[in-house]
Chain A
């Protein structure tokens, strides 16, 4: 912006020159006036020369003649001096008048110049304001244009970035899908193998279950825990608490933990303690039926 303002336009050259000329003139005038002052000094030097020499007064006749002569001479000299003085005076007056004229002229010129300069300055200021406004408008237009350009560039960059990202994401998903598919395939294979293995276990279990051994095992555990459960007053109908239990092959309870329970602290403690107190839990007749993890549901049917 500043650069734009300092860059003068062609139509501004004329008033500037006038202004410079006016300034030079004014400066010249001021300096002239100052230099002319010492020129008036020689006038008193001429009067000094009239002082009588006392040695010349001693000679009477000659002296008188001389005196007369001298007087005439004196008169003549005085006349001459007078004339010179007058001339000098006239000259000085003329000079003074001239100087006055010059001064007045200079003054007028200066005033005119000042006025001219003021007007020029005003015009220049007006010109500058107009220029500034124009420049500003121009700059605004330019900035707007620049901004628009920048936004466009940014949008473009963003679009490109997104596209790249989307491409990467597609790639990632594809990779994940591939991995999943592979894992699923593996899991399926594993499960299949497991299930095939389980068929045998299932058959064995079914045999054990059918023999009634499972029911017997469950009811043995049930009885033992039931007998140890001191049902607190707050364990009323509607209370249901699930306890996850881990046991060792010996039946010893390693952990009894309430997983879901709508009872209070007393109820929670009582059901866990019932399982702990029943430890070691009874073992099944058929080892196949043994399970390290048991789930108990405490669900009072009477208050």
Chain B
């Protein structure tokens, strides 16, 4: 009897030992992803017509995906095979290349200038099709269609809407630096397809997209001082909406597109933030402090206007109800935080932050009041959120030149936008296209 009890006891202890020991499955905890980008293969699209393919669709798609920072397209020369249909893919070949996703497709001729594009996306590890579409496209729309394909792939793989089919506006300064020419430019999000909206010998500043993406508000000095204009992208027609005495500057659209928040000095040198109803020219003063109050930015829900104020000495970010009310300070970290831009979801804000003498882009978590520096330049400025809130475009200095750069909102991925002539500054990312 005593022997049995002892044996039982031993058994219990052993069971405990073994289950707590390493004979159970090894458990490994992963608390962060260090992988920067998913290796993806965008195989050149097949062309079944005569002559050369009408457009390098795969090239555009690969560039779009690379620019997002979340994908790393493998170079065409590394491809062991170039399938154009799902049936032709040998997944083992792609696993060797560590490719996780493969995109194949074809351009099929329909008429002289019309085509059908088809593409399929496969998960290499599982050999599963993730996405497949066929779509018509005219010759002059092939690039736009390629951007659409990029966005479809991006959204399927990340769960986030892509921004390849959106646009950017920026100020381009060209010519002799002592007698420069200022241009207001609108281009595709990849920097291609640039179109000059306005050219002037006087400075152009602060382009801002209307919420429907059809108009740009900006500041032009063409009449000797700063004045605010609104220009239609489609027709090019423009209207001067504020030419009051003193400064008229820093326009920001209300989410309903009916009002602008802007900065006026009314001739007494004191900059304050106002709202202006565009159609009626009804002006409402939002702030009334003797310090500089400027750079208003309307929150996506239309409730708040964020702005820069140096009432305490250095510039810091404040917010005030758009309907008027008591301003509230938002940033406290560091001596210099300026030019707020609130993310589309309203949870974050990007600012220009002085980091030990360097002007860098920082993102502020508005819920947790936590500031994170995203860039490492020394004269970074003018941050603007992509409409999906995932990427920020900003102006950086490359030598003496201003260039455009991208940084992911988590700061992990940074890229430079293809260089253009002259200096590029003040990028503004368009909203999603409105149909």
Residues of A within 8 A of B (CB): 188, 191-192, 195, 198-199, 201-202, 205-206, 209, 214, 217-218, 221-222, 225-235, 256, 264-266, 269-274, 276-277, 289, 291, 293-303
Contact B38 A303 (CB under 8 A): no
Which of A209, A230, A277 has most chain B Cβ within 10 Å? A230
The number of chain B residues touching the other chain, given as a range, is: 35 or more
Give 12 pairs: A residue, B residue, CB < 8 Å, sorted on A: A195-B11, A198-B23, A205-B23, A222-B28, A229-B33, A233-B158, A272-B125, A277-B98, A293-B26, A294-B25, A297-B30, A299-B31
Q: A264-B159, A273-B125 are in contact. Are A231 and B25 (CB under 8 A)?
A: no
Pick the contact of B29: A217, A256, A297 (CB < 8 A).
Answer: A297
Closest B residue to A223 using CB positions: B34
Chain B residue at minimum C-beta to C-beta distance from A231: B33
CB of B11 within 8 A of CB of A231, answer no
Contacts of B17 in A (CB 8 A): 202
A226 and B33 CA atoms in complex are apart in Å by: 5
- Please provide the 4 A-B residue pairs with the shortest distance between their CB atoms, ordered closest to farther: A231-B33, A229-B33, A230-B35, A266-B159
Task: Decide if B434 is an interface residue (CB 8 Å cutoff).
Answer: no
B9 within 8 A of A: no
Residues of the B chain whose Cβ atoms lie less than 8 Å from the Cβ of A299: 29-31
Given contacts A229-B32, A273-B123, A291-B22, 17 further A-B contacts (CB under 8 A): A198-B14, A202-B18, A205-B21, A205-B23, A214-B22, A226-B33, A231-B33, A231-B35, A232-B158, A234-B159, A271-B30, A272-B125, A273-B125, A293-B26, A295-B25, A297-B30, A299-B31
Distance A201 CA – B23 CA, assembled complex (angstroms):
9
Contact A229 B11 (CB under 8 A): no
Secondary structure at chain A's binding surface: helix, strand, loop or mixed?
A: helix
State in angstroms the CA–CA spacing of A228 and B34 once bound together.
Answer: 7
B70 to chain A: closest residue by CB: A230
CB within 8 Å of A: which of B230-282? none
- Tell me, rounded to whole Å, the shortest Cβ–Cβ distance linking B61 to chain A: 18
**A230/B33 in contact, CB under 8 A:** yes
* A276–B374 CA distance with the chains assembled, in angstroms: 31
- Cross-chain contact A228 with B25 (CB below 8 angstroms): no
CB-CB < 8 A to B37: which residues of A? 230
Chain B contact residues: helix, strand, loop or mixed: loop
> How distant is the Cα of A38 from the Cα of B287 in the complex, in angstroms?
148
B33 close to A266 (CB less than 8 A): no
Among B7, B22, B25, B125, the residue within 8 A (CB) of A209 is B22
Fill in one digit per residue for B29-54: 1 if any A CB lies within 8 Å of its CB, else 0.
11111111111000000000000000
B23–A202 touching, CB < 8 Å: yes
Cα–Cα distance between A188 and B26 once the two chains are bound (Å): 26
Residues A226 and B159 in contact in the complex (CB < 8 Å), given A195-B18, A221-B28: no
Question: A300 is contacted by which of B18, B26, B32 (Cβ under 8 Å)?
Answer: B32
Cβ–Cβ < 8 Å partners of B70 in chain A: 230, 232
Rounded to whole Å, the gap between the CB of B103 and the closest CB of chain A is: 16
Chain B, residue nearest A220 (CB) = B28
> In the complex, are the beta carbons of B28 and A225 less than 8 A apart?
yes
Query: If A191-B11, A198-B14, A230-B70 touch, does A222 touch B30 (CB 8 Å cutoff)?
Result: yes
Given contacts A233-B390, A303-B410, contact A293 B28 (CB under 8 A): no
B15 touches A228 (CB 8 A): no
Inter-chain contacts of B33 with A (CB < 8 A): 226, 229-231, 235, 270, 274, 300
Please determine whether A202 and B21 come into contact, CB atoms closer than 8 angstroms.
yes
Residues of B within 8 A of A (CB): 7, 11, 14-15, 17-18, 21-23, 25-39, 70, 98, 100, 123, 125, 157-160, 390, 410
* A131-B220 Cα distance, complex, nearest whole Å: 122
Q: Which residues of B contact A295 (CB under 8 A)?
A: 25-28
Residues of B within 8 A of A293 (CB): 25-26
Instruction: Check B25 against A195 for contact (C-beta < 8 Å).
Output: no
Interface centre among B18, B33, B157 (most CB of A within 10 A): B33
Say yes or no: B410 contacts A297, CB within 8 Å.
no
Residues of B within 8 A of A199 (CB): 14
In the complex formed, the residue of A with least CB distance to B13 is A195
Give the residues in chain B near A205, CB-CB below 8 Å: 21-23
Residues of A within 8 Å of B98, CB to CB, are: 277
Contact across chains for A289 and B22 when beta carbons are under 8 A apart: yes
The docked-state distance in angstroms from the alpha carbon of A195 to that of B7 is 12
Contact residues in B for A277 (Cβ distance below 8 Å): 35, 39, 98, 100, 125
B28 near A218 (CB under 8 angstroms)? yes
Residues B123 and A269 in contact, CB atoms below 8 Å apart: yes
Q: Within 8 Å CB of B32, what residues of A?
A: 226, 229, 231, 300-302
User: Known interface pairs A202-B18, A273-B100, A276-B125. Does A225 touch B160 (Cβ–Cβ under 8 Å)?
Assistant: no
CA–CA, A266 to B154, complex, Å?
A: 11
The minimal Cβ–Cβ distance linking A293 to chain B, given in whole angstroms, is 5
Which residues of A have CB within 8 Å of B22?
205, 209, 214, 289, 291
Q: Which of B27, B31, B38, B160 contacts A233 (CB 8 A)?
A: B160
A228 to B, closest residue via Cβ: B35
CA distance A294 to B26 in the complex (A): 5
